[in-house]
Structure 1
Amino acid sequence: MQTKSKVIHLDGVIPEHLFNKRLDQCLAEMFHEYSRSKIKEWIEGDCVTVDGQVNNIPRTKMKGRECIIIEATQLTQTASKAEEIALDIVFEDAHILVINKPAGLVVHPGAGNPTGTMLNALLAHVPDIDKIPRAGIVHRLDKDTTGLMVVAKTLPAQTHLVEQLQSRSMGREYEAIVMGNLIAGGSVDAAIGRHPSKRTLMAVRETGKPAVTHYRVIEKFRAHTHLRLKLESGRTHQIRVHMTHIKHPLVGDNQYGGRPRPPKKAVESFAQALRDFKRQALHAAQLTLNHPNTNEEMSWQVPLPSDFNNMLAIMRQDVADNQDLMEY
């Protein structure tokens, strides 16, 4: 990874209608392309002058017509090089990019994956995206999770998308195959934090961050269930952790307990198919958001990948071959 710095210079006069508003509130309205957390960081970092005097107290009340100057440095991280990696682009305009991510594609470079990532591909597809923190990536999918992701192509778009994620107004729906029989839908409301002993994994913990996952049954099999899931929050490994928490880990998710468990009297080809499914059976099927420039609600859906569909077909055949063993 390389770290680059970008000099930010902003100036303006606080409008009179913001009389008696806090400094951070005034600046958030004046410079709405930047997040409130970033503006607060600049104020507290002595980057803001009010009528020629540094003011580092966000709660300072303004009278209106004060002259504001912001001189700040913003760090951006990009991969060391752009790489021509094919992307399955579902939608693109001047502001956002919606991608259907395949299994096996890492989103961010990291230990063991310095190149060949989505970030490397984005730098080649949109060269100016290196000016945006994290190359415009505002949320991520695990390496072996497939489906929809949105990427910001401009700083204002990034700010708006992050705000939608934080306010939970961005809709993200997934499909998964889990172990065991779920009779009906439900919700999991359980905080998620770092696993106490396995530092690369997450776990349900009282000291974690709030997380809510809703799910409903699409199709039931002899020893597995096909689910549709909706996130209210976006914690790392959230669906994988929550499903494991309720004793229904995802098929193929060996890290969280989804080891192959064929049902009784399953034919060897079914048992082998479960052993050969080397990733978590999880697909980001639908994404809904308000366009950061027009505020128009937009929604995209992508079909299940072939390996997911093949597994469903094998499970349906197992049901047909063992109707007398089905539990309803």
Structure 2
Amino acid sequence: MSQAIQLTGTIEPHHEGKRLDQVLADLFTDYSRTRLKEWILGGKVQLDGKVCLLPKEKVMGGQQVEIATELEDDTRWQAQDLPLNIVYEDEHLLVIDKPAGLVVHPGAGTPDGTVLNALLHRYPDIAEVPRAGIVHRLDKETTGLMVVAKTIPAQIRLVYALQKRRITREYEAIVVGHMTAGGTVDEPISRHSTQRTMMAVNPMGKPAITHYRVAERFRAHTRLRCRLETGRTHQIRVHMAHINHALVGDPVYGGRLRPIRNASVELSDFLRTFRRQALHATMLRLTHPITGEEMEWHSPIPDDMVQLIEVLRLDSAEHPDDIVWV
């Protein structure tokens, strides 16, 4: 089933010079800016009778805007009784500590069994919030903290804070190769040109900045603390692979597992069977979207990464003078 949508309005003088998607969000407050942008890109929006396909097009005062589209009923998003590890909750937001293997949002190949499905069961009213309050995601096999908005005002302000880089997210990562110092990767990221499930560094992509510092060095690996300045899909994974220090266990960007000279059987076996990217969202800091309170949460490193660190420490102790750079 679908619902026909017919919207009309007039661009006001104070809107002149602003982006079309911004103005539409101001005129038609019942719909999210993301949805309105999709309608623009889909050719559903006309200015003075002419189809406009550019969300960033600057508008002029007095223009007539028309939107003719359909709103599909999305029956894929079903409430499901699934466990969630809630580390904080109030009437406006909640913070989840996500385990490995849990998908955040339904998509191709994963129609249910996600964080979103669990949220709809636990908080039925969250269905009124865009994407059930999910304002940022973690990859399926990445663990750790993520914030969810429970109300529309909280969602709007959290999305704005993310866009303005006012939410701090730090990750623990273990990468291949011995690194001597931290640094910053400032390389734009876009969808891979041929493999559409992957991302890649691309000069024409969206800006992406990852700061990292060395937390611990091993003989052939390094433990990093990464801080996101932007939040592109797979950002840390892509950036670390770009500087030839892919995450341990990354099945997409890690390439073929290379043997490490003089490695023990235990280490070789552990690395071969560590089948997820060694990445954990360990710290989240933000200003509460309603109260203005500064808030911060921490999540301990999960057991599988703790075991990986212990094995790497043992290997370093057994070979103190043998460094493997990459």
Query: What range describes the TM-score normalised by the shorter chain of this pair?
Result: 0.7 to 0.9
Q: 2:107 aligns with which of 96, 107, 110?
A: 110
Query: Higher mean Cα deviation, 256-265 or 237-246?
Result: 256-265
Aligned to 1:213: 210
Q: Which residue of 2 aligns with 1:239?
A: 236
Q: Structure 1 residue 134 and structure 2 residue 144: aligned?
A: no
Amino acid paired to 1:106: V
Match of 1:22 in 2: 15
Please, which of 226, 229, 232 is the counterpart of residue 226 of structure 2?
Answer: 229
Asked if the contact 2:282–2:300 (Cα under 8 Å) also holds between the matched residues in 1, the reply is yes
Q: 1:159 aligns with which of 140, 156, 163?
A: 156
Aligned to 2:91: 94
For 1:279, the equivalent position in structure 2 comes to: 276
1:191 to 188, 192, 196: 188
Q: How many residues align?
A: 302
**Contact 2:2 2:70 survives alignment (8 Å):** no
Say if 1:252 and 1:259, in contact at 8 Å, map to a contact too: no
- Give the alignment's Cα RMSD to 1 decimal: 3.5
Q: CA deviation at 1:197?
A: 1.8
For the 8 Å contact 1:182–1:225, the answer to whether it is kept is yes
Aligned to 1:278, the other structure's residue is in SS state: coil
**Compared CA separation, residues 21 and 310, structure 1 to 2 (3 A):** same
Aligned to 1:251: 248
* CA gap 1:311/1:127 in 2 versus in 1, 3 angstroms: same
Using the aligned pairs only, state the percent identity.
Answer: 55
Q: Quick one: distance in 2 between partners of 1:84 and 1:29?
A: 36
Q: Write the distance in 2 (CA, Å) between the matches of 1:199 and 1:92.
A: 36
Report what 1:16 is aligned to: none
1:32 deviation in Å?
Answer: 9.3
**Selected match of 1:177 from 174, 179, 193:** 174
Contact 1:253–1:259 (8 Å) recurs in 2: no
Tell whether the 8 Å contact from 2:77 to 2:106 is kept in structure 1 after alignment.
no
Counterpart Cα distance in 2 of 1:118 and 1:306: 21
Q: 1:40 to 1:184 in 2, by over 3 A?
A: closer
Question: Does the aligned pair in 2 maintain the 1:170–1:289 contact within 8 Å?
Answer: yes
Q: What SS does structure 1 have at the residue aligned with 2:252?
A: helix
2:262 pairs with 1:301? no
1:322: Cα distance to partner? 1.4
**For the residues of structure 2 that align with 1:168 and 1:130, how far apart are their CA atoms?**
26
Q: Distance in 2 between matches of 1:285 and 1:112?
A: 28
Question: Structure 1 pair 308/251, CA: closer, same or farther in 2 (3 Å)?
Answer: same
Q: Could you tell me which runs of 5 or more consecutive residues in structure 1 were left unpaired when the two chains were aligned.
A: 10-18, 47-56, 62-71
Matched residues in 2 for 1:236 and 1:42: separation? Answer: 23
Q: CA-to-partner distance for each residue in 1:93-131, whole Å, 9 max, x for gaps?
A: 111111000000011112221121111101111111111
Gapped regions of structure 2 (runs ≥ 5): 47-57, 63-68
For 1:172, what is the secondary structure of its paired residue?
strand
Q: Give the structure 2 partner of residue 319 of structure 1.
A: 316
My pick for the range that moved more, 33-42 or 78-87, is 33-42
State the 1:199 CA deviation: 1.4
- Tell me whether 214-223 or 32-41 shows the greater mean CA deviation: 32-41
Q: What is the CA distance between 1:29 and its match in structure 2?
A: 8.7
Q: Answer yes or no: is the 8 Å Cα contact 2:86–2:96 preserved in 1.
A: yes
Q: Does the 8 A contact of 1:76 with 1:133 survive in 2?
A: no
**8 Å contact from structure 1 (residues 34, 155) kept in 2:** no
| Aligned counterpart, 2:144 | 147
Corresponding residue of 1:54: none
| Local SS of the residue matching 1:255 | coil
> Taking structure 1 as the reference length, what is the TM-score of the superposition?
0.80
2:257 and 2:316 mapped to 1: Cα distance? Answer: 17
- The 1:88–1:41 alpha-carbon spacing in structure 2 relative to 1, beyond 3 Å, is closer
Shift of 1:40: 9.1
Task: Detail structure 1 runs of 4+ shifted over 2 Å in the superposition.
Answer: 3-7, 19-46, 57-61, 72-80, 257-263
For the structure 1 residues 276 and 39, does the alpha-carbon distance in structure 2 shift closer, same or farther, using more than 3 Å as the test?
closer
Find the aligned partners of 1:4 and 1:79 in 2 and give their Cα distance.
Answer: 14
Could you say what secondary structure the match of 1:198 adopts? Answer: coil
